[in-house]
Chain A
Amino acid sequence: MYNTTRRRGVRGAGLASVVALALTLTACGGSSDDGGGTESGSADDVKTALEKGGNLTVWTWDSTIPKVAKDFEAAHPKVKVKVVNAGTSKDEYTALQNAISAGKGVPDVAQIEYFALGQFSLAKSVADLSQYGADKLADSYSPGPWNAVTSGKAVYGLPVDSGPMALYYNKKVFDKYKIAVPTTWDEYVTAAEKLHKADPKAYITADTGEAGFATSLIWQAGGHPYKVDGTNVGIDFTDAGSATYAKTWQKLIDGKLLSPVTSWTDEWFKGLGDGTIATLATGAWMPTNLKTGAPGAAGDWRVAPLPQWKAGEKSSAESGGSSLAVPAASKNKALAYAFTEYAAAGAGVKSRVKDGAYPATTADMTSKEFLDTKFDYFGGQEINKVFAQSASEVAPDWQYLPFQVYANSIFNDTVGKAYVSGTKLTEGFAAWQKQSIAYGTEQGFTVK
């Protein structure tokens, strides 16, 4: 099988563009599994594939998936699932892109975050799963994640987790300095001042410029800096939502109220553990990271609704969250879909939730058992209630760029300057916009 693919891959390599190569591979991938020479599959194919069995390679960095793979193997003894951690996020996308271009070593299932899925779906590098019946799952998911994996009628992946945002805060620190939990971002700035004054080593949060965070808060503020319609792309960071975010965040930067620690470093985890980083506005998947990364702070943390841009409003956003997609070059797409559905919508969800993942399926998100779960790490708080509320308030119609992975990679060189030099955030956004437009145009998009 490898040989056929490679030979055809080499023939395809004559074609100039990567997209074209991906399309060639799509064709041979389709022909080798059903022998019919067409790309289409059906729900029956999935059943047949499960009965026939076979080998699957799954690329994921999610620590709850290996267990799901074992359960799946137990349920379908003829299927062997190999779970590979091919790196996280951007590393994986690079590897996946390379594998797709080379036509070799492409996994059957890959974890892809919502912000990156557009890049793969637009190039048709991932299969449209609606042919296997994925479109019938629309009602199972909350609208935010479902919107993120679909484009028109096509379904490019199944949401495997979601990240409705909330404010994680260290109650011990807040109590110690008698700071009220902020309900608006203005109150958040005040709390930041108060905390840093009381303890010069403590900061309200750590931020050295992170694209995902900034875009999520712009999303919450009702901004729509990205407008994507196929290959027509609009980028505009001068809209009201972006301006609101930049104005407030500039205050935190100017007041030196943000800890200069970069997220996801060991220093960051240390700060989260010892109370020098007092809050985190992030997605619902964070509890696992907190529990393992800052075990020393067990019992100190709580979760509150995300502060609002206008008092009394109810608006939220998503941060992170990912899908399982089936690369078009997979040689066993029907079976791959069976696994994807099992892990993202079927029995696998329960097992993942038990291990601390935050689901994207409404039934699991609203089940009494899930909502009533008490978390020792959060002092026995029923945190899922906060997240579920947030999920229902996510601002509609957010879009990411089809080249968001690249755009995020240049965030630090543009917007990030505001954190270390005299540049203003708004200037940073203007530079980010300009460079993103330049790259998009280079890649053949019509960018305005």
Chain B
Amino acid sequence: MGAPAPATATPAEDRAPRPTTGLRTPRPKRRGGVNSPRRSVLLTVLTGLILVYALVPLVWLVINSTKTQTGLFSSSGLWFGSDFAFFSNIKDTLTYNDGVFVRWLLNTLLYVVVGAGGATFLAVLGGYALAKFQFPGKRGIFAVVIGAVAVPGTALAVPTFLMFSKMGLTDTPWAVIIPSLISPFGLYLMWVFAAEAIPTELLEAARIDGASEVRTFFTVSLPLLAPGIVTVLLFTMVATWNNYFLPLIMLKDPDWYPLTLGLNSWNAQAQTNGGEAIYNLVITGSLLTIVPLIAAFLLLQRYWQSGLAAGSVKE
């Protein structure tokens, strides 16, 4: 990788024979730059290590999902055993206990679609309003939102439980869905995004043309907000999909368990008198659990990347 030709050089000049005598203009020394970043061995090695660190658990999961309960303990964790039980593991995972895994999968989907979808919708509405409308108390709201971002959901779980218990909502899907609807971080993100992505002039133009606020929101603003919406959707989706503690304290009925709780109950089953150890199903189940998340990331990647970069450059 050499330094590129000076930006001013035209192709014609490039092709012209260079003078063989006289002073040679020294090529500008440019190390690094946007188009040809400097290579650093240290950085490459570090990045490589982090890549391995991030991927090893995934590789472990994929490899071990091919093993039977016997193979799991008799072969090395990071290579395939002599048995290949991937498909029978999947079949067993989906049918064990009358196919309760499928039920948990559907529950998780329900929580994600209604919970994360609803949270995104509320964040979009709220963020847009905060970014584009002036009203008293906005500073106060800002403080509350920022504060709420800092409070971990786990800390709120117990008070939420007590509240829901009083309302008689525990042990129902509502106990998981309603708290998932609130995403302060999503709201904040939408707020910032809407402020950057929607030119106020555009809104004024729409208003002058006589469009109602609702119509302006849906026809003018919403398309502009799309990348931000996808970003927030991904955040809330991942959070809801992985949620463990909230359903743990809210739900007692395995029929309403999300995958996280269900898999844990399978894992705990081995640890008791007369219980059946099904580590192979726990592992295969975990693999199946992350597949939809990976799929969602790959499908929405395009949007969410552009969402992250939005507003970073003044054009």
Residues of A within 8 A of B (CB): 2, 6, 61-64, 66, 84-89, 91, 95, 99, 102, 104-105, 113, 161, 163, 264-266, 269-270, 273-274, 283, 285-286, 288-289, 292-296, 320-322, 356-358
**A6-B168, A95-B252, A99-B252 known; A64+B274 contact, CB < 8 A:** yes
Per the bound structure, the CA–CA distance linking A357 and B279 in Å amounts to 20
Q: Given A99-B252, A105-B170 in contact, is the A270-B73 Cβ separation under 8 Å?
A: yes
In the complex, which residues of chain B have a beta carbon less than 8 angstroms from the beta carbon of A64? Answer: 274
Residues A105 and B171 in contact, CB atoms below 8 Å apart: yes
Q: CB-CB < 8 A to B74: which residues of A?
A: 273-274, 296
Q: Which A-chain residue is minimally distant from B272 (CB atoms)? A: A88
Asked if B90 is at the interface of the complex by the 8 Å CB criterion, the answer is: no
A-contacting 9-mer, from B196-204, B262-270, B302-310? B262-270
Query: Is B165's beta carbon under 8 Å from chain A?
Result: yes
Per the bound structure, the CA–CA distance linking A57 and B187 in Å amounts to 41
Whether B273 lies near A283 (C-beta < 8 A) is: yes
Complex-state Cα separation, A112 to B265, whole angstroms = 18
Which residues of B (228-271) have their CB < 8 Å from a CB of A?
Answer: 252-254, 265, 268-271
Query: Roughly how many angstroms separate A84 CA and B254 CA in the complex, as a whole number?
Result: 6
Q: Which 3 A-B pairs have the closest CB atoms?
A: A293-B277, A264-B271, A88-B272
B278 contacts partner chain A, Cβ-Cβ < 8 Å:
yes
| B275 interface contact, C-beta 8 A | yes
Q: Are A63 and B254 in contact (CB under 8 A)?
A: no
Q: How far is the CA of A6 from the CA of B170 in the complex (A)?
A: 13
Task: Knowing A85-B265, A105-B170, A264-B270 are in contact, say whether A61-B275 is a contact too (CB < 8 A).
Answer: yes
Is the CB of B160 closer than 8 A to any CB of chain A?
no
Known contacts A85-B269, A269-B73: A288-B275 contact under CB 8 Å: yes
Q: Quick check: is B276 within 8 A (CB to CB) of the other chain?
A: yes
Alpha-carbon separation in the docked complex, A113 to B275 (Å)? 14
Is there contact, CB below 8 Å, between B274 and A87?
no
Q: Which of B253, B254, B265, B273 contacts A161 (CB 8 A)?
A: B273
CA distance A273 to B70 in the complex (A): 8
Contact of B277 (CB < 8 Å), options: A104, A269, A320: A269
Report the tally of A-B residue pairs with Cβ distances under 8 A.
Answer: 95
> Of all chain B residues, which has the CB nearest A99?
B252
Partner of B69, one of A95, A161, A295, A357: A295
A89 touching B252, Cβ below 8 Å: no
**A61 to B70, Cβ gap below 8 A?**
no
The reply to whether A266 and B252 contact each other, CB–CB distance below 8 Å, is: no
With contacts A62-B274, A105-B170, A292-B278 taken as known, whether A87 is within 8 angstroms of B253 at the C-beta atoms is no
Chain B residues with Cβ under 8 A from A95's Cβ? 252
Q: In the complex, which residue of chain B has the Cβ closest to the Cβ of A352?
A: B274
Residues of B contacting A: mostly: loop
Closest Cβ of chain B to A84, distance in Å, is 6
Also in contact, A161 and B277, with CB within 8 A (given A84-B254, A296-B70)? no
Residues B180-225 near A (CB distance < 8 A): none
User: Are the C-beta atoms of B274 and A357 separated by less than 8 Å?
Assistant: yes
Which residues on the B side are within 8 Å of A163 (C-beta)? 273
CA distance A163 to B270 in the complex (A): 17
Other than A286-B273, A293-B69, give 5 A-B pairs with Cβ distance below 8 A.
A62-B274, A99-B252, A274-B73, A295-B70, A321-B273
Q: Which residues of A contact B254 (CB under 8 A)?
A: 84-85
Could you pull out 20 A-B pairs where Cβ atoms are within 8 angstroms?
A61-B268, A63-B276, A66-B97, A87-B265, A88-B268, A88-B272, A89-B272, A163-B273, A264-B272, A266-B73, A269-B270, A269-B277, A270-B73, A273-B70, A288-B276, A292-B270, A292-B276, A292-B278, A293-B270, A322-B273
Bound complex: CA A168 to CA B268 (Å)? 23
Which listed residue (A84, A265, A270, A274) contacts B253, Cβ 8 A? A84
Contact with A along B138-166 (1 / 0, CB 8 A): 00000000000000000000000000010
A292 CA to B265 CA, complexed, in Å: 16
Most buried by B among A161, A273, A274, A289: A289
Chain B residues within an 8 Å CB radius of A285: 273-274
Closest to A290 in B: B277
Residue interface bits B41-69, CB-to-A below 8 A is 1, else 0: 00000000000000000000000000011
Q: How far is the CA of A62 from the CA of B73 in the complex (A)?
A: 24
Give Cα A288–Cα B265 distance, bound, in whole angstroms. Answer: 18
User: How far apart sit A358 and B273, CA to CA, in the bound complex (Å)?
Assistant: 10
| CA gap between A84 and B252 in the complex, in Å | 8
Q: Enumerate chain B residues within 8 angstroms of A293, measured Cβ to Cβ.
A: 69, 270, 277
A66 to B276, CA, bound (A): 13
With A288-B275, A292-B278, A293-B277 already in contact, the answer to whether A88 and B269 are too (CB < 8 A) is yes
Chain A hits for B168, CB < 8 A: 2, 6, 104
Q: How far is the CA of A269 from the CA of B280 in the complex (A)?
A: 13
A286-B68 Cα distance, complex, nearest whole Å:
21
How distant is A26 from chain B, measured CB to nearest CB, in Å? 21
Q: Which residue of A lies closest to B264 (CB)?
A: A87
Residue numbers in B under 8 Å from A85 (CB-CB): 254, 265, 269
Measured between beta carbons, the chain B residues less than 8 angstroms from A63 are 269, 274-276
Contact of A102 among B165, B278, B279 (CB under 8 A): B165
Q: Which residues of A contact B275 (CB under 8 A)?
A: 61-63, 88, 288-289
Q: Give B59-104 interface residues, CB cut-off 8 Å to A.
A: 68-70, 73-74, 97
Complex alpha-carbon distance, A321 and B68, angstroms: 29
B230 to chain A, nearest CB (A): 38
User: Can you name the residue of chain A whose Cβ is closest to the Cβ of B97?
Assistant: A66
**Contacting residues, chain B, for A89 (C-beta < 8 A):** 272
Residue from B171, B253, B277, B279 with most neighbouring chain A CB atoms (10 Å): B277
